[in-house]
Each structure stands twice: as C-alpha cells, then as structure tokens.
A and B are shown apart, each in its own frame.
Chain A
C-alpha cells in the first residue's frame, strides 16, 4: 500500500502564525531598526518604498533560545578527526586562538557568532511597523475621510429602456430562441422556393402536373411569407435593456500637494529634509487610500507645478512669495481635483522667509480657500541647526510662522512644526498623526 500526494497546491503561508509571533516578540527591536532605516535612508524617488521588502538586522538578545550545554572551554576532551597526514602519537599542536574547543562541537550551534539576526520584512510588514499607532488626523471627527460621490452601477436587465441601453447580445439570444421555437422559416427556405417557382414559370409550356406543382409551391411561398411576417425577426418581446442604478461610491482617492520654497535660501539640506517629510506623508497616505497622486508645486516669487525631478533638484532664483504657491494649489484643485471626489492633503515646507506682508494673505488663503477643502494641512519649517531658540520656543518666529500660528488656532486639521535635522522628521511626523492629538481635541471640546 502506498500513495503519492501532490501538496504543491496546498494553501501557502503555513508558518504565518509563527512569523506573526516572531515579529510580535521582536517588535521593540524591529521598530527601532525600522525607524532608524527611515531616518537614515536616502530617498531615491517620491515613493521610496522598499518594494521587495526591507532587510532588517536586529540584535538577537531577546531572541535567544537558551539551553543547558557544555562550555567550550576547559576540561579534558578528545576529538577524533579524519585525514591524518603525518602526525604520530605524542605530537603536540598549538592550541588554536580564540577558544580552546578545537572541534567546537558543543558550542557552535547556539552560542557565539549570533549576536545579530538578519531577515527580510515584507513591504506590508515594514509599513505596518513604521506607521504603527498612527492614524489619519480627523478620522473620528468626520467619521470617514473618504468622501462620497454618486455614481452608477449596472443592475441587471429590464424589458423597457432607452435604445442606447439596448443589450444586443441578450436581445439577439432571445430572438434566436423564439425563432427556433416558433419555427420561423428561414430566408434561405424562402429564397429556394422562389427560385423553384421562377424556374417553373420560365418554362413556356407546362404540363398539368407541373401546373399543379407550381400552384402548390406558390401557396407554400405565401404561407412562408405570412409566417415570416407574423413571427418577426426581432419582436418587442426579445428586447432587453441594461439598467443602471445610482449608487454612492466611496471615494478612496487622495492627492497630496507638496509645496516647497525653492528660493536661494533653500539649500540641499533644507530640500532633503523637506523631501523626507513629503515621502513619509505619501507613504502613509498610500496605505490609507486605494489611489494617491502627488502634485509638486514649487515657488519663489512665482509658483509652478513641476515634476518630481525638477521639484527636488532644479535650481531657481528669485524672491519669496509664499502665497503664490497657495494660489497655485487652489487653482489646481479647482481645475483637476474636485474636493467631493478627492481627499486633499497639503504639505508645505519652507525656511520661514516670506516677502513683506504676504503672510497675511497666506493666512487668508488657507483659512478661506484651502483648509475647508483639505483633510489635513501640514507646515514644516526648516530652520538652522544652530537656531535652537526657535526650536524650543514655538512663540518666536517670523511673519509667516506667526500668521500660521493664528491659522492653527482656528483650524484643527492644520499642523505646524519646526525641524532642523533628519532625525526630527519622523518624530514630528508621528506627532502630527498620533491619535493623542485627537484625544486632546476631544478633551478640549
């Protein structure tokens, strides 16, 4: 008795439960490494997601499986080894450096050399850990961040409708069925008969039986014609129309506006910091929405929509008028992203400089036009590493900062923060999206 079994089609992921337990166990360590990897990562493209997963190396401290085993040092041991070349009894060999255990049999498996443990996290797991505990800012307040639009959905067939909704396939299928059932004479049978009649008629002198036959044929033809008239090729009975019913469609599209000051005062460092922030925001939103788009708007004293490459790397000179970028964003929203179809997120990075009293204009634009249609708007001010005074004191700041502070006082889905080094980006990002922000709002309301 024996048999073969093909197991290849068995469900995959048999060890998924083990993996989850493993990740849970190593959570703290993994989290630390993932955060580090994001902070230290040089971001190549706007979606610098580790596509094939991310390799992490964690200390194996918490992952040890201790056992009782013999120490590799000390004592008297005998090792039998193969391949003696020229040893004779009594030869001495210097003890190898680094531990006496020449064979090292007992210590090799669990002991030394395993202080680090490397493995690969899938993209899903990576993001899950990266954004652990983060939530969309006003998820609870608005019940859903996904706006709704009315769309239509096919809802089967009906027997009445407008011609443009005629379902040809189903109609013709019905027609064919009916024609077969009612034995509608085919065009071919009619034509054959007509030919036969014409043939007979063409004869100059017909014999009486031929006359009779002709008469019968004519009768038959009449019958066929009549029947074809009665049993139509397509009958109103056959007609089928597609129907559509209106339906609310949950809108799971999001657009992220990346606004950045590119005037001379924004150097590589500032741009790099801004980029990290945009990247995180994009990664985060990508997980929440089925479809996300990025719009890059850069500005000096005028604003332009550009592609990513230009956005981050091209040089531009000019003054600084922040409101131009906000105007541009408003324009683009009106043009391409109706707020009832798109979830709009804004992220602005700047070094805090602005021209004259333009900042007041920015405040108005934000409060009147942009914030009402956005889900969330974040402002990141990139300051000098030396400017500790600014970092520690949110009240101090230039015109733009002061005006934005007023905006923040009025709009809860507006967040602002100062950063000076890559290490700050991730924490402030977390701060923006931590549910505690919401909790505080609740406590306040």
Chain B
C-alpha cells in the first residue's frame, strides 16, 4: 500500500458514533464494496443493540425471533455469568442470513469499530449469504423471519393447549436429534399422496402462518408413489418410506406411529431451523474469511482515499490483527485452527496468486495463477465452494509453509502419536486433504441412518451407524439420545454400528 495522503476530509474524527456518521461511513463503504469489489448484497438493515440484547441474541443461536425453550435460558445464564465475570467478551456484531440482511452492532463500539463492523458484516457476510450456493439452495433468506414468527407462535400455542411439559418433551427430543435432522445431499424425497393429505390436514389451521419454507420443501419433494399395502416386504418398505433415510427428524415426522400432528409439526420446525443453519456450519472458514477479507480491503481503501484518520485506521488494524491471530499448536491459547485466520489468509493468498504468481503457484493453480481479475476469482470461490471443497481446491503450498501445518496421526492401535506429514513437497497434498476433511461435516458428524421399520411387524426402528476409521459414538450420550428417540417413536429403537473398511 502506498503512503497514504493525510486524511483530507475524514468521514469521522473521534470515537463517538452517531447515526449521521454511520450513514456517511456506510455510503463510503458501499461505494467500495459494490463498485470496486463488485459485491452483490441484500439490502442492509443495521440495528444498534445493547449488551443485554446481544446476550439475548447469543442464547437463541443468533436469530432475532425464537420459540421458547429452557435450553436457551440455560445458555443465556451461562453466557451472562461468563460476561459479567469478564471471562468472555461479546461479539462486535451478529449478522443474520435474511433478506433484508439484518446485522446487529453493539452500542459500545467506537465509530471506528462500527465502520469495521459494517464492512465486515453488512457487506462481507451479506455478500456471502446472498451468493454462496449452499445458502441459495438450502435457505430462504426472504422467508426466514416469517417462518420464525410462525414457529414461535405455533409453539406458544401448543404450550397453551397441551401444556409446557408436553411441548418441552417433544422439543428436548427434537433438539437431541437436530444434527440428524438435515438433508445433507440432494433433495428431500417427495411425500406419498397419503402424507400429502395428512400434511394438508395438519396445516389447515395454520394457513395464515405463511411458512414459505414449508411450501418450498414440500414442492421439491421427489417421487410420488402409491404404496402397495399387501406387499409388506422389506424392499417395499424401503421404497415406501424412502429408506435408508439420513434425516431422522424427517422420518419420525412422516412415519412415527405415535406422534400427534402437532408433535410432528414441532419436529418439522426444529428440522427446518437445523436445515437453515446447516450451510453456516459448513462454511465457517469461508464465511468469516470472506467477511474479513472484505473489511480488510475496504478499510485499506478508505485509508488510501483519506476517508478515515490514521488513528481510526490503527484501531481497526489492531482489532483485525487480533481476529486473524493463529496461535501455534503448543501455545496455551491454541484451540484449533482459527477460521478467521485460515479463511483470511487463503483469500489474501488467492489475490497474491493472481497478482504475483510464483512458478510453484502456476504449477498448482494453472486455472487462475496470473489471472488479472482476482476479484472475479474470489467471487467465484465465494459462490461455489464450502469449507471442505474450498480448502481442497485453494490451499496453496505457500500457505501450508506459512502456517507450518503438519498432520498428526492418532491410531488407537499404536502406542504413540505419529507425525505423518509435514510442510514439505511430499506432504502438501496429504495435508491439504487431511485439513479439508477436518471441515467436512459429513465426516465430522456421525453417519446415522434409518434402515428399517416394520410398522406391520414388531415396529422396531432400526438405525445404522456407519463407523468410519473405527470411531464409535459416545456411549453415554448415545443412550440419552436413544431414550429421546424412543419417546418419539413409541416403540423399540435399535442402533447398530456397522464398521466400514478403512479407506486408507
């Protein structure tokens, strides 16, 4: 960056923020974001909130409206205790994948921080939400608020009607299965006509609740098959109930012999929200990387253009540096790889590869090394990848060296841990593959599927856990979850572990 001219007419001077100043700063940021970086964002709705409201938002997984459940109260109590005793700070902002894109800014932020936060959330995250394929495919940004309102009202109504305890029981059980309540691949199957009628009935009373997500899922359901009741063979059941089924909540909602319609609707709400949040779990590195890259670029531009003072710039850089710090593995502060650090470094690296490629880069990234349009390359990456594929595709040897990454193999059969790869030519590909795997939710989360349930026989729900690399489920928790599952299914539930041959 060339020596910046001294700020001619800075947007603001001094730490206090006002709405007028924020308006000015936002306009300046928008100009760079849209015209220079070519971002494409939802309209922004920037809300200023207090610390207590931030804690509120924390407890409800960051959503502005949420149904009521004791676990949110528990999280609030814990976060509040941590915050009050100073053991945990609060985020500067929270941003919601919705249209308009809502971002919450803390009132305690200085004007410089508000500027940074706007660049980060209202443009960085916002662009990512709007353009990434996972969010486009799996979430409905325009409908989420209506759906949340529907969910909140529906559950409140159920509490009135069936009692707090009855609703709590269903919600507890549904929460326990939340990670198994998403469709990971492809589209959810189409319901049978019988199910369509049942769904219709359930929802008749709630027509007004305009749950767009409902309509969307239902309309994208796959095959529509009439069952053959006489033929109760295993294969017929498999066809009829779309087995094997990875989405346990979906399966229970459709096939549980015990659940009342309102209980099914609650399961549906929980899995809808799990599905809505699922893309965020898969794009932590990219999402934060994108937002951090955008804010870093924008504050540098603002400074170059003399729109912010040196003091403000320093304050922003200070905060930026803290955010992207990556402690090494033997540092007491180390707690895994910092998604901000990795994402930001990778995106900066992509820009570097476009602008100043080395021979190594040309060899590894022939597609875009030296491509003059680095903005286009980045936008394409933001739009079409998730963490796992992004790392697999874009992690460069240069970065592996910079982070000094190494792979530690922990094989329970061996007495010691073994360093299996280090940052050398022989190790780059393996490290890249191993790191990508660390971000693959399909690998991180247990693969549990419904494999059979004979409703005309013993009605036992058979689940299969496909064990990879000899990693089993945590026994204690597994029992607890199965208890919940039995409650929802009403009959026996069996979970079998099936080992697969290790792929290595």
Contacts and interface: CB of A to CB of B under 8 A. Distances in A.
Interface of A: 1-8, 10, 12, 14-15, 17-26, 63-85, 87-95, 100-103, 105-107, 110-111, 117-120
Given A25-B70, A80-B434, A92-B416, A14 B56 contact: yes
5 contacts: A2-B43, A21-B70, A25-B168, A68-B481, A81-B406
B454 interface: no
Nearest to A106: B444
A69 B448 CA distance: 10
B275 interface: no
Q: Which are the 9 A-B pairs with shortest beta-carbon distances?
A: A83-B328, A22-B73, A66-B480, A18-B73, A75-B471, A75-B470, A119-B77, A81-B329, A21-B70
Contacts of A117: 74, 78
A68 to B, nearest CB: 5
Interface stretch (B218-226, B364-372, B381-389, B421-429): B421-429
B480 A3 contact: no
B422 A18 contact: no
A253 B107 CA distance: 43
Interface of B: 19, 22-23, 26, 30, 43-50, 52-53, 55-56, 59-60, 68-74, 76-78, 80-81, 84, 100, 104, 107, 122, 164, 168, 172, 175-180, 326-331, 334, 336-337, 403-413, 415-423, 426-427, 431, 434-435, 437-438, 444-446, 448, 469-475, 477-478, 480-481, 484, 502, 504
A103 B444 CA distance: 13
A100 B470 CA distance: 14
Most chain B C-beta atoms within 10 Å of own C-beta, residue among A1, A10, A79, A119: A79
A95 B405 CA distance: 19
B168 A1 contact: no
Contacts of A64: 480
Most chain B C-beta atoms within 10 Å of own C-beta, residue among A8, A65, A85, A91: A65
A81 B73 CA distance: 35
Contacts of A75: 412, 469-472
B46 A100 contact: no
Nearest to B48: A6
Contacts of B408: 78-81, 93, 102
B53 A10 contact: yes
Nearest to A8: B50
Contacts of A71: 471-475
Given A81-B406, A82-B328, A107 B474 contact: yes
Contact of B331 (A69, A83, A111): A83
A100 to B, nearest CB: 6
Contacts of B180: 68
Contact of A8 (B48, B406, B477): B48
B76 A77 contact: no
A84 B437 CA distance: 20
Most chain A C-beta atoms within 10 Å of own C-beta, residue among B438, B502, B504: B438
B422 A88 contact: yes
A11 to B, nearest CB: 10
Contacts of A5: 45-48
A95 B416 contact: yes
A79 B56 CA distance: 35
Given A1-B100, A81-B407, 13 more contacts: A2-B46, A4-B22, A5-B47, A18-B69, A23-B73, A69-B179, A75-B472, A82-B328, A83-B328, A84-B329, A89-B419, A93-B417, A120-B77
